[in-house]
C-alpha cells in the first residue's frame, strides 16, 4: 500500500471518523482505523461495534492495499503537521511509514483481516430526506432520550416512516419530545429505534444543507449515506411505548407567552430552585404567569410574566430543566402551553405550528 495526500484532505475525514473510536477497547483493533487505498482514493473506517463511520478521501494511490492503524495517533500527527504539507504514506511489512516534509513517523499496525466487517443484510427501505430536515428533527427531540435506563428502548430515538412523513420521538418517562417533517417515504409504515450514540454521530455528520441524502433501513441497522461519509448504526431491539397515548388531547385551555421572556424568567428563577428536584411553580392568575422557586435554605425567587390564558387561578409545578428544554425546542416568538389542571402534563407547541410537540409531566411541590 502506497499513497500521497495533502494534510487537510486526510485530516478532515479522519477527524470525523475518530469520534466513534472509544478510548477503552475490549479488542485492540477497535482502537484503529481501517485504511483502504483503492484506485479512486482512500476509505477510512472506524467502529465501536455499535456505530460505524466510513469516510472517503481523495489521494494519489500508487499501490492499493489495506491495513489498520492507531486512530488517535494518526489524527494527532495530522493535526500537529503544518498546513498544506504533502504526506507520503507507505506500508513496509507491518509498519506504516509517514513522510511529511522533514518529519517522519512509523506507526504499528494490525492486519485488516482483524477489523470487524459490518454485517449489513439487504436493505429493506431507502428514504431520500433533506440533510437539514433530518438534523432539525434530531435537534428538536434528541435531548429527551433516556440515559442508561434499564428500559433499553428508551435510550434512543424512535424514527417512524409513514404516510408521506417522518416522525422522531424521544422520551425518558418524565417528558416527551416529538417532531415531524413531510418526506417522500410512501405509505408503508416502518419504525426503528436508533441508539443514543447513533443519533449523536448522525447529527455530527449532518450539515444545514437542503441536499437530499439516503436513509437506509435494513434488518437491525440504519445507514445514513452522504456523498463523502456513511454512518451505519445498529438499532435497539425493543417495543417503544405508545407515545400517542401520552400526548394530551388538544385543549382550548392554554397559556400564550412570549417565548424569550418566559425562558429568561425560568432561567433566573432556577438559580434558587431545589438543586435535587429542580422544581418551579407556575401560578396562573388573570393576565399573568408568576414563576416561583424555593429551596431548603428558605430562599425564594419570583418572576412575573404577561400572558394570555383563560385560568382564573391555577398552580402547577414542573422540573425547570425539562420546561426549558421543551421551550428551547420551539421555533417562533410565541409559545403555547396547553394545561388542564395541576395534576396533568402540559403540551408545549408553537402558536401556529405543531410540527414540534413537547410534553412535560407535572411535579408535586
- Confidence class for position 298, pLDDT limits 50, 70, 90: very high
What pLDDT was estimated at residue 155? 97
| Of 83, 76, 101, 104, the residue nearest 92 (C-alpha) | 104
User: Hey, which CATH number is domain 123-245, 2.120.10.30, 3.40.50.300, 3.20.20.70, 3.10.150.10?
Assistant: 3.10.150.10
pLDDT at residue number 122: 67
| CATH top class, domain 2-114 | alpha beta
Topology match between the domains 123-245 and 254-360: yes
Give the residue, 365 or 96, on which the prediction is more confident: 96
CB contact set of 101 (below 8 Å; sequence gap of 6+)? 81, 82, 85, 86
Using a cut of 0.75, tell me whether the model's pTM lies above it.
Answer: yes
The answer to whether the beta carbons of residues 96 and 67 sit under 8 Å apart is: yes
* 30 CA to centre of own chain: 23
The candidate with the shortest Cα–Cα distance to 232, out of 120, 71, 124, 68, is 120
Q: Is 267 helix (H, G, I), strand (E, B) or coil?
A: helix
Residue 365 has pLDDT above 80, yes or no: no
**Exposure string for 156-193, b = 16+ CB within 10 A, e = fewer:** bbbbbbeeeebbbbbbbeebbbbbbbebebeeeeeebb
> What is the edge-to-edge ordering of all strands in the sheet holding 279-285?
300-306, 288-294, 279-285, 313-319
Strands in 60-63's sheet, in edge-to-edge order, are: 60-63, 2-6, 86-92, 95-100, 103-108
* The three-state (H, E, C) secondary structure of 121-139, written as one string: CCEEEEEEEEHHHHHHHHH
**pLDDT digit string, tens, across residues 147-180:** 999 999 999 999 999 989 999 999 999 999 999 9
18: left (phi over 0), alpha (psi -120 to 50) or beta: alpha
What is the C-alpha radius of gyration for the chain, rounded to an integer number of angstroms? Answer: 25
* CATH fold of 254-360: DNA Polymerase III; Chain A, domain 2 (3.10.150)
Share of the chain above pLDDT 70, in %: 98
Q: Encode pLDDT of 40-91 as tens digits.
A: 999 999 999 999 999 999 999 999 999 999 999 999 999 999 999 999 999 9
**Residue 121 clears pLDDT 70, i.e. is over it:** no
pLDDT above 90: residue 349: yes
Which three cell numbers mark 352? 401556529
Q: How confident is the model at residue 23 (pLDDT cuts 50, 70, 90)?
A: confident
Place of cell 504526506: 87
**299-321 per-position pLDDT tens digit:** 999 999 999 999 999 999 999 99
Q: Residue 173 in contact with residue 154, Cβ under 8 Å? A: yes
Report how far residue 337's alpha carbon sits from residue 255's, in angstroms, rounded to the nearest whole number.
5
**Of 226 and 71, which is predicted with more confidence?**
71
Sketch the domain layout of the chain as residue ranges. Answer: 2-114, 123-245, 254-360
User: If pLDDT is split at 50, 70 and 90, which confidence band does 119 have?
Assistant: low
Q: Write the burial class of residue 266 (CB in 10 Å: 0-12 exposed, 13-18 middle, 19+ buried).
A: buried
79/71 Cα distance (integer angstroms): 13
**Residues 168, 139: contact at Cβ < 8 Å?**
no
What CA–CA distance (Å, rounded) separates 137 from 246? 20
365 contacts: CB under 8 Å, gap ≥ 6: 279, 281, 294, 317
Burial (Cβ within 10 Å: 0-12, 13-18, ≥19) of residue 198: buried
Residue linked to cell 429568561: 264
Amino acid at each position: 500500500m502506497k499513497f500521497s495526500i495533502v494534510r487537510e484532505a486526510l485530516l478532515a475525514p479522519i477527524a470525523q471518523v475518530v469520534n466513534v473510536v472509544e478510548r477503552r477497547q475490549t479488542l485492540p483493533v477497535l482502537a484503529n482505523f481501517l485504511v483502504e487505498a483503492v484506485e479512486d482514493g482512500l476509505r477510512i473506517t472506524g467502529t465501536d461495534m455499535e456505530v460505524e463511520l466510513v469516510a472517503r478521501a481523495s489521494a494519489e494511490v500508487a499501490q492499493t492495499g489495506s491495513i489498520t492503524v492507531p486512530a488517535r495517533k494518526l489524527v494527532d500527527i495530522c493535526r500537529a503537521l503544518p498546513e498544506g504539507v504533502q504526506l507520503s504514506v507507505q506500508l513496509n511489512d507491518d509498519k506504516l511509514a509517514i513522510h511529511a516534509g522533514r518529519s517522519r513517523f512509523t506507526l504499528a499496525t494490525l492486519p485488516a483481516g482483524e477489523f470487524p466487517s459490518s454485517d449489513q443484510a439487504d436493505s429493506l427501505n431507502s428514504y431520500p430526506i433533506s440533510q437539514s430536515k433530518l438534523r432539525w428533527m434530531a435537534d428538536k427531540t434528541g435531548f429527551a432520550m433516556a440515559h442508561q435506563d434499564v428500559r433499553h428502548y428508551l435510550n434512543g430515538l424512535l424514527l417512524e416512516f409513514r404516510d408521506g412523513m417522518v416522525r422522531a420521538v424521544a422520551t425518558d418517562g418524565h417528558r416527551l419530545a416529538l417532531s415531524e417533517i413531510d418526506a417522500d417515504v410512501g405509505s408503508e409504515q416502518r419504525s426503528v429505534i436508533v441508539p443514543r450514540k447513533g443519533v449523536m454521530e448522525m447529527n455530527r455528520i449532518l450539515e444545514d444543507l437542503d441536499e437530499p441524502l439516503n436513509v437506509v433501513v435494513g434488518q437491525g441497522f440504519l445507514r445514513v449515506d452522504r456523498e463523502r461519509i456513511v454512518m451505519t448504526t445498529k438499532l435497539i431491539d425493543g417495543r417503544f411505548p405508545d407515545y400517542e397515548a401520552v400526548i394530551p388531547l388538544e385543549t382550548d385551555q392554554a397559556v400564550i407567552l412570549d417565548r424569550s421572556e418566559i425562558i429568561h424568567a425560568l432561567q433566573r428563577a432556577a438559580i434558587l430552585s431545589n438543586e435535587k428536584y429542580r422544581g418551579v411553580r407556575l401560578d396562573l392568575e388573570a393576565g399573568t404567569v408568576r414563576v416561583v422557586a424555593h429551596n431548603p435554605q428558605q430562599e425564594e425567587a419570583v418572576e412575573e410574566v404577561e400572558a394570555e390564558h383563560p385560568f382564573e387561578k391555577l398552580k402547577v409545578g414542573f422540573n425547570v430543566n425539562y420546561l426549558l428544554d421543551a421551550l428551547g425546542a420551539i421555533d417562533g416568538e410565541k409559545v403555547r402551553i396547553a394545561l388542564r389542571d395541576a395534576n396533568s402534563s402540559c403540551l408545549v407547541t408553537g402558536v401556529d405550528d405543531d410540527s414540534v410537540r413537547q410534553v412535560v409531566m407535572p411535579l408535586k411541590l
